[in-house]
Every structure is written in C-alpha cells, then in structure tokens.
Structure 1
C-alpha cells in the first residue's frame, strides 16, 4: 500500500495560517510581552537597584500597579502565545532551501531564533506561574534566572523581528484582499472558523484569563478571580501571609527584647517605650511579587523621626535587620528618599490591632512604592548608613 505523501507548508492553505493572521496576533502578543518585560524590569530594579537608577517613593501605589500589570500581562501571554504558534505551525513543514544559499542562511537564522524564543518563553511563563504559587521545585535561584531569561527572550525576539520585518510590514495593514470575504481569497479552516472568528476567540480567551486572574490585585474583581492563586483580603488581619513566623524561625519576643538603632547616637527601646512614641498612620498597600496586593491601615513611628533622634545626617540610608533566621530578605535597605518619606513607618499596628506574629510582631517596615519582600517583618535593629 502506498503511503500518503508527507505534508508540506502548502498543505495548510487556510486563512487562519496566513501571514496577515500571524501579524495581527503577533502585535497583541508583542504588546503583552513588552508590558510584562518593562514592569518586570521595574520590579527587579526595586530589589537590586543599580547605583545610577533613582527609584522614587511616590506614587505610593506605583509598585502595586506595575507588579499587578506584570503578572496580568504574563498570564495573558499564555493564550496569545498558543494562538500565535498555532497560526504559524505549518512553517514546520517548509523545507530548507538547498543547496546552501543566502536564503537558506536566513531561514536557518529564523528557525534558530524561533527555537530560542519559544523555549525561553515557555520556561519563563512556567517558572513565573509557579512563582505566583510560591512553589520552587528547581535548584536554581528564581529571581536571577527569571531576569536572565527575560533578556534572552528580548534578544531572540529582536532577531526574529529583523528577519521577518519585510513580511510583517507587508501585512501590517489590511489590504483590499483582507477586506474581501474569506471565500474569495483563501479556503476556510476545516473547523469552519473564519479569520475574524479566530481573532474574536483569541481576544476573548485572553480577556477571560485576565479578568479571572487580575482580582488578586484589583479587590473589586476579587469575587471572580477564580484563576488567581491568592485572594487579597484572605488572611490574618485581612491580609495574606507569604512567609509565616514559623517558616522564618521567629517564635515571638521575651521580656528582655529591645529595639535598637545604630547611628551617631545609639538608641535602645522596649516595646512599651516604642508604643509611647507619637504614632503616625499610613494607608498603604502590601504589593507582592506574586502579583497580589491589598490596601491596609498601618500605625507606627515614622522612620525619619527615629533617624533624627539617632542624630543621622540628612540623606542617610537605613539597613533594616529582622529577627528572621536566614532567608534572602532577613535584611533590607531603605534608600534615603524612602527613609525620609513621612509614610514610611516602623509599624506596630495593622488595621486597628496589634500586629499578629505572622504579620511581623513586634514591628515591621511599611513604606510606599515597595515590594512586599522589602517590607521587612520582625524588625529589631536599624543601622544608619551615611
């Protein structure tokens, strides 16, 4: 029995695999990837700020918005990437030009860039999704790996765009042929789905995924956030917990506990003495790298007031030390602008009650426009850095 001939690129003449279709979906995908990359850079530089970069303390909710967009855009990329791959998969059946020529080199470069781009995007999305679940079943550090993969994606994407630019420009705008009915130009898909139907399906899927996940950072949409791993208002004192006191090895304080400040003047206070200070209030969100955020009311002592008491000169930075046993964020640093911001507190109370142990009792840092991992809990020592 004679076997059927293997498929070729011409075996898929449907308009759903036309370059115009791939270009339209590619624009949507490119926009989502750009938003995800830029907001991811902002989050990375918040935690590892280069000396040349100035991160402002205001707007107070800026990180809440950017990190919410980062996780949202990364989630929306998933259906867009799958749709993009489906529109172009017939290219897998195209033969490389032979003998070797300039066209063959261009084709090989295109396929190589696609291989790198798709594999790194798949790994980036997979590890990013598991990060939202706080599950790290791999031996490498997530933050550094996620950051490196992002730059590999950008490099591969630029190569791919450079190779495909003539085709993209040709199909960037609709032509008279694109406005004509599908039956007048290319055969419909076997499923009967038209090109316009595909666009609506992909846009609808991306929108649905976004709406059902963004509720972890937009409380108004919380009730329908069925795809979000966190409900922002569920947890002790109305806030979720990422790292419990048990995980951090913190069991509480004893009668000898003291809060200390190392500066030009060395200061030391008991918890009762801290509670006798004039207390300030700040309505600020906790915004975590996993994408969830929730506003709360904090009460405590302004960091800038404590620095003045210690004789710290203007423009001082502050190293914050936690009672946490080890961990990547047992210490953090407040840049001068954050330390001097009146909203930055050594918080002692949350939503009208004393901090629970899981939320950082006896004291924690709360500051505007900061990732949750830098809002250090279980604080017992500040060190002035002039």
Structure 2
C-alpha cells in the first residue's frame, strides 16, 4: 500500500476506496429517491481530487477540511438522469442549464435576516452598531446593501425564469409574506394564462394489493432456526500479521521538500537492513530488478535514502554493498537456484483447521 501511494494519484486512491467500501450501493439503499443526487455528489468529490498529483493526498485533505470549516459553498454534482426525470436543484446551481419544463418552487420562503455587520462595497468600509452607538454612515451603508441584495435576488429570479425551453410554470402565492422570495419581482400573474391540464389524460395507477400476512410464531421460529443453522461462526487465525517485517500501513506522502512523511520510524540499522534486503530480493524475484550486483547496491542505496531514519546517525546505517552481496549470494545458493523457475517472494495460504474445537480458518503468507 505504501508503494502504491507513491505512484497513485489521490483521485485514483479515493475512487478505489469508494469501490471497495461500496459507497454507491450504500447510498442507493439509504437515500431512496435521492440516491441519484447523492451518487452525483460522490462523483463531484472524486472529480475535485483529480488536479492533485501523486504526493498531494495530504494537501487535498487539508483543502477539503479548510473549506468545510469555513463553510465554503460547493456546487452539487449533476445527475445523469433520463429525460423524463424530475430534478430539484437550487437556482445558483441551475446557471447555464436548461430543462423542457421549469417550476420555481419554495418561493414562499422568507429572506435571510440581515447580518449585524454591513459592508459597503463602494468605499470598502464596514459598519455595525456597538451598544447604543450608531455610526453616522450606517443608514447609507444599509441603503447600499439593500440595493445590492435586491439586484442580486432579481438576477436569481431572471436565472430561474430563463431555464425553461418549452414551458415555465410560475406558482401564484397570494398569501406569501412581503419578505418572501415570491415578492422580489412582480411576475404579473394576472397577465399569464392558467395552466390547462384538460389535455393531459390521467394515467390509471395500478393498485397492488398487499398479500396477507401469514406470519406466525411457529413460522418465525422455524425461519430463525434455519438462519442460525446456515450462519456458522468462523474464527480467523492470521499469524502473518505479527511478522516483524510487516510494518503497519501508515501515510508516507511528502507534501513539501522540507517536510518529512508521517510514518513510523524504523528502529535500529538491523531492522533497516532487513527491510531493504527483503525488498531487494523481492524485486529480483518479481522481475522488477535485473540480476546485477552493482544494480543491487544502487537499489539498496535508493531504498535506504527513502526510509525515514535519523540522518544524524549515519554510522548506524547498513552498507548497501553488503546488502547487495548478501542478496546475490543467497539467490546463488544451489538450493535456491533450483527453485528459481517457480519461486515467488510471498505465497498466500488459506486452510480450514479440522482439529479445532470450533470452525477456524487460517490465513497467512509463506
């Protein structure tokens, strides 16, 4: 996993994580009718990670966290729906989009209350009331702010009313309050024709009768016993997870040249030597590293440089030439040379232990 993190972009890592964690099926089951919108937002989140390079995972997390804490607005994902689907979308998100039929809804909502601080854009000044002290220019700042908000809300209504290609339906709300969105502009409802629904033939809904509930206590107990008999508890033994050379998977991504990766520090040159030696021999067996003694030493030197260790104790580091020589002699042993055509670095094993007191499965590596 650490090697993949150094060569895989955050977008690919997050896409694979979403696939393995079954994010989309979970959202489809949990959100119901809104599952398409939720899935589109997942795609928008993955798309946002696309500009970050292979060493940008931590930076991406920092940017997302910063935007979350500051409440930065983000556009929702666009739903890839059929032509006859109904989409509910905000006016801000509708900019640049069109639909055959558009109905502005929820326009009876009241406008937001004024903030205590008023910013006047004309001279870039800030005005507010401190106790009973009213600044002399507060009324002028309020008038300027009201004019700016009114123009912005009128522009939003223009966007809402120009998204329809064939039919725009404007609901009439005579009981709406004066401080609601329905009162921002005069829509001249009395000049608009009423929506004629007589030409639409009502479609008969099929009535499906619920089957009678024949569940009884006896049936329930029989079903419970069948489920219990089919659900055999299985205990896994994984001894290879405790191997000394299996380090915990941690983040090992460098953001800046002077910033060290966040990972567990190797303790002692003995452990460093073992990790490097294991990696060199593994790359030889997988074909990633050619069988050349000088190449072994160069690769060992690169691996030592990549490990996060105390550079002040250079004398305690293993010798790349010694590691290369050890790997070379080991692979050249007659017993090992005879196995080389079919030798692999690691081999997973799975087995059911027949002599265990309870069903037990073994998972490990050789």
Q: TM-score range by the shorter chain?
A: under 0.3
Ranked by relative contact order (alpha carbons within 8 Å, sequence separation 6 or more), the top structure is 1
The structure that has the greater radius of gyration is 2
Name the one with the larger helix percent: 1
TM-score, structure 1 length as denominator?
0.18
Name the one with the larger strand percent: 1
